[in-house]
Amino acid sequence: MSSETNAQHQHDADHGSEEQAHGSFRGYMTGFVLSVFLTAIPFWLVMNNVLDNNQLTGFVIMGFAVVQIIVHMVYFLHMNGRAEGGWSLLALVFTLILVVIALAGSLWVMYHLNTNMMPVHDMKQMP
């Protein structure tokens, strides 16, 4: 058992990468406290209508979501450039590119489709 673990550590050392990071108590607590604030503030902004401007509130809470996703990736999923020799981060970056294309592309195309294909029904001019 112990010899097997030693062999694995030796093996990982050969590859120049560490055993999968399990994080530390400090890291998990940092991530948790940050997440609590990053969750509570958007809920507070929306529930109490603090900013009094829906569009501005929308952009602000989307900003909070992006920051919180990064916090989760770093402190809970232990994402960094060294994990698995950089392949995890590469897969993540590739996926994010596909996600941005799928989301932004769909919304962009369908928004213009809606605008251009909508029949003009001005009910005021109906007889």
Which residues, 6 or more positions from 61, have their beta carbon under 8 angstroms from its beta carbon? 42, 45, 46
Q: Which is nearer to other proteins, 14 or 122 (CB)?
A: 14
Beta carbons within 10 angstroms of residue 88's beta carbon: 17
DSSP track, 67-120:
HHHHHIIIIIS---TTGGGGHHHHHHHHHHHHHHHHHHHHHHHHHHHHHHHS--
How many residues bind to other proteins according to rule CB under 8 A? 50
Asked if residue 85 lies in contact with residue 15, where contact means CB atoms within 8 angstroms, the answer is: yes
Among positions 18, 32, 82, 112, the unique one binding other proteins when judged by CB under 8 A: 32
C-alpha R_g of the chain: 23
Tell me which residues in 65-94 interact with other proteins (CB under 8 A): 65, 68-69, 72-73, 76-77, 84, 87-88, 91-92, 94
18, 62, 80, 112: which one contacts other proteins (CB under 8 A)?
62
* Minimum CB–partner distance for residue 123 and other proteins (Å): 14
Site residues (vs other proteins, CB under 8 A): 1, 4-5, 7-8, 11, 14, 20, 22-25, 28-29, 31-32, 35-36, 39, 42-43, 46-47, 54, 57-58, 61-62, 64-65, 68-69, 72-73, 76-77, 84, 87-88, 91-92, 94-95, 98-99, 102-103, 106-107, 110
